[in-house]
Structure 1
Amino acid sequence: MNTYFNYTLFTILLILNCSFSFAQNQEIVVRGSLVEEESNQPMPYATVAIYNASSKSIISGTTTDDFGKFETTIPNKDVYFEISFMGYETKTISTFSVADGTANLGTITLAPDSQALDEVVLTGEVSKTVFKLDKRVFNVGKDISSTGVSALEVLNNVPSVNVSIEGEVSLRGSGGVQILINGKPSILADQSGNALGTITADMIESIEVITNPSAKYEASGTSGILNIILKKEEKQGWNGSISANTGIPDNHSIGGSINRRTEKFNLFTQFGAGYRSLPRDNEAINYNLINDETVFSNGEEFRNETFFNITLGTDYHLNEYNVFTLSGNFAYEIEDQPSETNFSFFEGNNLISRWVREETTEATNPKWQYEFNWKKTFQNNEDHSFQLSALGSFFGKDQSSLFTDTTIEGEDQNSNQRTATEFQQADYTFKADYVNPINELFTIETGLQYVINDVGNDFEVEDLINGSYVINENLTNNFEWNQKVLGVYATGAYENDTWGLKLGLRIENTDLNTLLTNTNEANAQNFTNLFPSFHTSYKVSEGFSLQAGYSRRIFRPRLWDLNPFFNIRNNFNVRVGNPNLQPEFTDSYELTSIYKIGKASLSSSLYHRYTTDVVERVSYSEDNVVITRPENIGTNATIGFETNGKYSPTKWLTLTGDFNFNYFDRKGTFEDQIFDFTGNQWSTRLGSKIGFPADIDLELTGNYQSGFETVQGEQSGYAFLDLGLRKKIFKGKIVANLGIRDLFASRIDERFVTQPTFETYNYSLRGRFVTFGISYGFGKGEAMTYSGRRR
């Protein structure tokens, strides 16, 4: 901390004295160059301060250029030099010789300041949570078990957040989460198609957990918002990192990040390439209670991906008040999805038939995204700002599948099917935000956002009949989905040293149209809603604060909730969308207390959510085929308690934990069924980070998710453990990481459906993942664990 204080104080003094000049007839030219002691690399933008030897006061100074060189003048020899760079030991030079009016200081080396570096490590290694008036900010540290993993795994380490084995994100046990990237909607945040797998842990700066969003944020997400903030290098000069990763199952990649920052420009790029395999074991049992018939199925499926990607962007500082950003990303993925499923069909205890269904699926996925952003700050206050942004993205999928059923025993089940998918999605977001701190206590914000989603999905199924493939008209169609959302908001906030209040109102208009072109089935919805918000906080003492909030939210059915196409990988257990789904609406209330006691911090929350037109997955059986589709099922009233804590008893040990419990009361009907019941669910996470000598760190994180009752059955609970090990080399310039996700392969997903006429059981297991990575940081950058970006 002293290093930062001294550095800041020196900078202020340097600015105050920079107007001094020396008489030309006394000037002595001083030259030199600066390099890092260990790597012998030039050190650009380091500070060279000149002090009067008698009075010890600063009289002038300069900085090194891009190559670590500097040149300045001094009035006479009665001076000394202090050369400094944040994170390095300051060097003082008081003895030098002058020849022909020139003093050559030669090559000067700076060594890392181990004390300052230790301070930085202690605050940055472990992920931590910061509380603000209307959100919690989870600053992503260098958690070892996250090495080489995607944003989904990082989210699973965030307090209040759970990610299922299927990649479904929930907040405090509820779905309907709106995920943003840098505060804006993005195709990268789409939960369908594993899009979050394109973001790797090292690319994330922080994750904002907003359980009661203010009116500033888009109203989507009945349980709240997760805003993923991506890193942007701010160090001047050349900075970057390269890395290589390998793993079991196959998880091989190379990647890199390069940044070049000057006074006016910040040029940045990220690139990656690799191959990844995601196996999964599945098992299903369908019981027909009327005919006493049973279909057993089990098998293994793979999602093999070869991916390439590159991101390019630049920030241009027109002046100190205007910054323009232009960036683009292109990615290309080649998918191979083989699967094999074994089926057995019984009547009572008699085996009627046994067969195997094999799948061969290939797909190519091109994707690109581009963004323009202009931020203007005003001279009276750096927080007084106007920001305008435009974001466009495209995702395409050209996929073909071949399914072959081969009879092994009993009745003939031989059949072939093939499918073809042509998918295109274009998204556009236009956003404007204005923030004005009227004074130190009052702030107003206003803005608008317009989002356009345009999707086409042409899906064709063919059956092999008499040696020829014939189109199955019942399963073939072209689905068009177009949604436009216009939102306008205004908020006002008052905040002093002990008390804060923020009020807001948002108005959103939704225009949604879906069309099945082959059958001309259309669904049009247009509605306008008001979304108020209220937040307040009170600081009782330095160690104890209270927060309270209210917001109204909406969950608009996503594309894959509406898309009616069947997934026929297992043609006895299929999922299908519902084009007629209506949105959910939620009123959310919350009271939070925050404690700081010595080296421990703790936050606890009581919350209540009331949701109408709840979207639930409902299953029904036809000819032993279980079809699951989303439906609007009544209301859900939830009361919950959550607590999060962190304790660092020593410098080498940090303990973290969180616990969430909620009680829910479900009421609703669907067709002839009544869904009135109560239940509860809870989850907990415990983590520890242990520092060993020789720069070795061990990390253990245990998770448990309880089982809970569903509208038609129950979901079982599971527990799993993640482990990470890291070794730093050359004081962090090189980092080696070993990560093991689900150490005991115990993260098992089991679902039961129990109905009067049928019962189903579904089992799924991803298994253990082991990754090893090594990275090297150059320039002023630090080594990072970059595993490449899929897609």
Structure 2
Amino acid sequence: MNIRFLLLLLFFTIGAWAQDEEILVSGSLIEAETGQPIPYATVVLKDVSSKATIMGAITNDQGRFQLNSSTKDFYVEISFMGFETIQLRDFKVKGNKVTLGIIKLFQDSQMLDEVVVRGEVSKTEFKLDKRVFNVGKDLSSTGASALEVLNNVPSVNVNIEGDISLRGSDGVQILINGKPSVLADESSNALGTITADMIESIEVITNPSAKYEASGTSGILNIILKKEEKRGWNGSVSINTGVPDNHSIGGSLNRRTEKFNLFTQFGAGYRSLPRDNEAINRNLINNEVIFSEGESFRNETFFNITLGTDYHLNQYNVFTLSGNFAYEIEDQPSETNFRFFDTNNTLVSRWLRDETTDATNPKWQYEFNWKKQFKNNEDHTFQLSALGSFFGKDQSSLFTDTTLEGENVDNNQQTATNFQQADYTFKADYTNPLTKEYTLETGVQYVMNDVGNDFEVRDLIAGEFVINENLTNDFEWNQKVLGIYATGAYENDTWGIKVGVRVENTDLQTLLANTNEGNSQNFTNLFPSLHTSYTFSEKFSLQAGYSKRIFRPRLWDLNPFFNIRNNFNIRAGNPELQPEFTNSYELTSIYKIGKASMSSSLYHRYTTDVVERVSTFVDNVNFSTPENIGTNSSIGFEANGKYSPAKWLTFTWDFNFNYFDRKGTFEDQVFDFTGNQWSTRLGSKIGLPADIDLEFNGNYRSGFETVQGEQSGFAFLDIGMRKKILKGKIVANLGIRDVFASRIQERFVNQPTFEIYDFGLRGRFLTFSLSYAFGKGEAMTYSGRRR
């Protein structure tokens, strides 16, 4: 009896244990078209009879999944947005395991169409001092890059090589979440690590308010990233080649998790930048003439790497730490032919001036940022950031003059440059939306620039190089700018007004250490701003703005040293140069008509202490230095638009015309004159079958009168072609810049005692690149553009 009872108990125990033992289900998910893993897809085990969910999981970054079932009567259902949902029923259980292996998902074209048509569509909202382009699912679901998204923003154009312009003008400042970032550095393509589904919106600011530093740019594009986006791995590698030499290899990588966003970009390459030059110096007093023409090169071998991370401490605090290091090795050969003719137009001498220049340039940049969001409102924020950078140059040059005909002018010179520049920016910004309509902003920024340029010139005398004390010196430049601002805004659904003021104190010190020549400037300025807008409808809005801006002389405007490559045409800086101040008024209309978006502006700008390069003529040598020359009052009209008559065809255009009234004096000369200048650009993007895109950009810039002569106009054409393979996982780019080699720089100086002609040409550039992407997003080209 007892034995039968024990056997029965043992039987039920084994049966119960067998029923409780779980079955392990595992597999790996990839895209059928590309073979790429699919992260964050949903895998569910469902009961065969009731279809109730037994267990669920999502795939990891490599597309793998693993989950358990306590019953054998189940099937597997796998789904992911944009792909066909599948059910797996034909599998075997071996040793309490179900191994599904590699599972392929096919894109669901019908579902993707529904996302585009029924989902959230990208659109532009008009704010007080900016336009906000909200990225909808029609873009975020495509896997496009940040540059592709920018190219969909009205007034913004991104060419195939990745160059960004706003309303037809270069020099756009790119911000990430309202702050400078190594991700937005033009010298790399770190923007390629950002895909469309990471972007919340893009702010377009053409007339910045007092919140932004008063030094001018052509505009600001602020990319706002989503906080909650988790995309796993994104990355790309590319190789590039071109004529003249432009060869590089690079890559970018981005990894997003719940807490971290890790990104890196790296590359190396070699490029050559040739330039043709021609000059004529004509002395009208004795009719002597010097002709010079030649070719120069800037050859560079370069390496760079960017590393950074965003750390989401919690939903209210994000920390960013990033850095960039670059190293360049330069070789700058040049050859210039000179001819000197006397009063009787007789050749006096002909000689050749050769240059051999070598340099090494270390660069680095680093950034720290903390952004805090308050619980009561996501727009209630405090942001603290620090950005530092360093640039160095150790350069040596040898110039050799060789007489070819006539009088002997043989002469050898050496120069040596030890240059170091350190820049630091510290910034704090606080934004408080008091109510839905009222917002206050305040902040402070401190910028430090510290430069030292030790320059030495040596002349060959009696077989030895001897220091030329007249040309040798150590230039030190230190500038500190402290800015404090406050703005207040009222804005409802149709109308708003924003008032702000910025106070900036500039402390500038320059010193020529060897001769103890110093220049000290300390000034404080107010920079008010006023913006208002009225939205008549979603398709038409008016904006009006006023701001005061400043142009502080740059280092090379102040540095008195010069390159003696052509020692009859010398450009030098002016340590005593004063800043320009501009009062800018602008009325802008923004409207959409069908498939076209357009904006037009009337503007008036009044600038004092205008900086112009002025030529003086001594012993047939042209010295060109920047000087403050009076005032400039300009009235202008600007219009730009984007029109897409079909999905495969887009036209963009820009037109700018301004009439100016110049008044000023320099030494004994009066510079009072009026003139005009205009420019236009017409671009087209054509989508061809087989995922081929063509791009044409034609530009024309008119000539205009200058304080001493005139500047010639020119026209040029750029062409690009892009081929996508495997839905953008592989991209091939072909570009031709300045197809007809017509982008010239030609300047005439016509004065009572002398005339100067100066001509420069870069020539035609042909580039080809091949890129491959992994993870989500398209392949991006690494260009290694010079910073």
The yes-or-no answer on 1:47 pairing with 2:42 is yes
* 1:454-473 equivalence runs, <5 A: 454-473=450-469
**CA deviation after TM superposition for structure 1 residue 69, in Å:** 2.6
* 1:309-708 equivalence runs, <5 A: 309-348=304-343, 349-708=345-704
Tell me, which stretches of 5 or more residues in structure 2 are unaligned?
Answer: 1-18, 134-145, 196-200
TM-score computed with the length of structure 2 as normaliser: 0.87
Separation (CA, whole Å) in 2 of partners of 1:247 and 1:371 = 33
Tell me the secondary structure at the aligned position of residue 380 of structure 2: strand
What amino acid is aligned across from residue 215 of structure 1 in structure 2? A
Choose from 81, 100, 106 the match for 1:111. 106
**CA deviation after TM superposition for structure 1 residue 119, in Å:** 9.7
Instruction: Give yes or no for contact 2:181–2:367 (8 Å, CA) kept in 1.
Output: no
* Residue in 1 that maps onto 2:727: 731
Separation (CA, whole Å) in 2 of partners of 1:252 and 1:394 = 26
Separation (CA, whole Å) in 2 of partners of 1:727 and 1:617 = 45
The yes-or-no answer on 1:266 pairing with 2:273 is no
Q: 1:80 to 1:214 in 2, by over 3 A?
A: farther
Separation (CA, whole Å) in 1 of partners of 2:548 and 2:106 = 55
Separation (CA, whole Å) in 1 of partners of 2:285 and 2:324 = 55
Deviations 1:624-682 (A, max 9, x none): 11111111111111111011111111111111111011111111111111111111101
Instruction: Give yes or no for contact 1:354–1:410 (8 Å, CA) kept in 2.
Output: yes
Q: 1:57 to 1:519 in 2, by over 3 A?
A: farther
Q: 1:484 to 1:241 in 2, by over 3 A?
A: same
Separation (CA, whole Å) in 1 of partners of 2:175 and 2:256 = 27
**CA deviation after TM superposition for structure 1 residue 382, in Å:** 2.3
Deviations 1:699-726 (A, max 9, x none): 1110111111111111100000010111
* Residue in 2 that maps onto 1:7: none
The yes-or-no answer on 1:63 pairing with 2:58 is yes
Deviations 1:430-466 (A, max 9, x none): 1111122223322222111111110000000111111
Instruction: Give yes or no for contact 1:306–1:334 (8 Å, CA) kept in 2.
Output: yes
The yes-or-no answer on 1:159 pairing with 2:167 is yes
**CA deviation after TM superposition for structure 1 residue 45, in Å:** 1.8
Deviations 1:157-203 (A, max 9, x none): 442415xxxxxx5xxxxxxx9887875579999xxxxx955568857
Tell me the secondary structure at the aligned position of residue 141 of structure 1: helix
* Residue in 2 that maps onto 1:740: 736
Instruction: Give yes or no for contact 2:186–2:785 (8 Å, CA) kept in 1.
Output: no
The yes-or-no answer on 1:241 pairing with 2:225 is no
Separation (CA, whole Å) in 1 of partners of 2:457 and 2:42 = 68
What amino acid is aligned across from residue 93 of structure 1 in structure 2? Q
What amino acid is aligned across from residue 300 of structure 2 in structure 1? E
What amino acid is aligned across from residue 147 of structure 2 in structure 1? V
Separation (CA, whole Å) in 2 of partners of 1:739 and 1:230 = 30
Q: 1:76 to 1:604 in 2, by over 3 A?
A: farther
Instruction: Give yes or no for contact 1:148–1:245 (8 Å, CA) kept in 2.
Output: no
Deviations 1:277-296 (A, max 9, x none): 00010000111111111111
Choose from 83, 90, 95 the match for 2:84. 90
Instruction: Give yes or no for contact 1:147–1:785 (8 Å, CA) kept in 2.
Output: no
Separation (CA, whole Å) in 2 of partners of 1:495 and 1:113 = 43
**CA deviation after TM superposition for structure 1 residue 262, in Å:** 1.7
Separation (CA, whole Å) in 2 of partners of 1:558 and 1:615 = 11
* Residue in 2 that maps onto 1:141: 148
Over the residues paired in the alignment, what is the CA RMSD in angstroms? 3.4
Deviations 1:318-373 (A, max 9, x none): 11221111111111000000000001111232111111111000000011111111
* Residue in 1 that maps onto 2:271: 276
Larger-Rg structure? 2
Tell me the secondary structure at the aligned position of residue 535 of structure 1: strand
Q: 1:691 to 1:477 in 2, by over 3 A?
A: same
Separation (CA, whole Å) in 2 of partners of 1:491 and 1:648 = 38
* Residue in 2 that maps onto 1:713: 709
Separation (CA, whole Å) in 1 of partners of 2:48 and 2:651 = 50
Separation (CA, whole Å) in 1 of partners of 2:186 and 2:504 = 26
Separation (CA, whole Å) in 2 of partners of 1:187 and 1:75 = 51
**CA deviation after TM superposition for structure 1 residue 496, in Å:** 2.2
Deviations 1:590-637 (A, max 9, x none): 011111111111110111111111111111111111111111111111
**CA deviation after TM superposition for structure 1 residue 230, in Å:** 11
What amino acid is aligned across from residue 482 of structure 1 in structure 2? N
Tell me the secondary structure at the aligned position of residue 585 of structure 1: strand
Larger displacement relative to structure 2 (92-101 or 536-545): 92-101
Tell me the secondary structure at the aligned position of residue 382 of structure 1: coil
Separation (CA, whole Å) in 2 of partners of 1:358 and 1:115 = 67
* Residue in 1 that maps onto 2:283: 288
Separation (CA, whole Å) in 2 of partners of 1:468 and 1:53 = 96
Instruction: Give yes or no for contact 2:351–2:409 (8 Å, CA) kept in 1.
Output: yes
**CA deviation after TM superposition for structure 1 residue 84, in Å:** 3.5
Instruction: Give yes or no for contact 1:187–1:427 (8 Å, CA) kept in 2.
Output: no
Q: 1:230 to 1:596 in 2, by over 3 A?
A: closer
Aligned residues: 740
* Residue in 1 that maps onto 2:143: none
Separation (CA, whole Å) in 2 of partners of 1:477 and 1:717 = 38
Tell me the secondary structure at the aligned position of residue 379 of structure 2: strand
The yes-or-no answer on 1:35 pairing with 2:30 is yes
* Residue in 2 that maps onto 1:773: 769
Instruction: Give yes or no for contact 1:308–1:789 (8 Å, CA) kept in 2.
Output: no
Q: 1:592 to 1:519 in 2, by over 3 A?
A: same
Q: 1:416 to 1:77 in 2, by over 3 A?
A: same
What amino acid is aligned across from residue 341 of structure 2 in structure 1? F
* Residue in 2 that maps onto 1:4: none
* 1:64-79 equivalence runs, <5 A: 64-72=59-67
**CA deviation after TM superposition for structure 1 residue 57, in Å:** 9.9
Tell me the secondary structure at the aligned position of residue 561 of structure 1: helix
**CA deviation after TM superposition for structure 1 residue 135, in Å:** 3.7
What amino acid is aligned across from residue 284 of structure 2 in structure 1? L
**CA deviation after TM superposition for structure 1 residue 47, in Å:** 3.0
Q: 1:252 to 1:52 in 2, by over 3 A?
A: same
Separation (CA, whole Å) in 1 of partners of 2:115 and 2:243 = 33
Tell me, which stretches of 5 or more residues in structure 1 are unaligned?
Answer: 1-23, 163-168, 170-176, 190-194
Separation (CA, whole Å) in 1 of partners of 2:517 and 2:750 = 32
**CA deviation after TM superposition for structure 1 residue 555, in Å:** 1.0
The yes-or-no answer on 1:212 pairing with 2:220 is no
Q: 1:687 to 1:200 in 2, by over 3 A?
A: farther
Q: 1:579 to 1:203 in 2, by over 3 A?
A: farther
Deviations 1:486-524 (A, max 9, x none): 111111222222222222111111111111101111111
Instruction: Give yes or no for contact 1:315–1:326 (8 Å, CA) kept in 2.
Output: yes
Larger displacement relative to structure 2 (662-671 or 62-71): 62-71
What amino acid is aligned across from residue 709 of structure 2 in structure 1? G
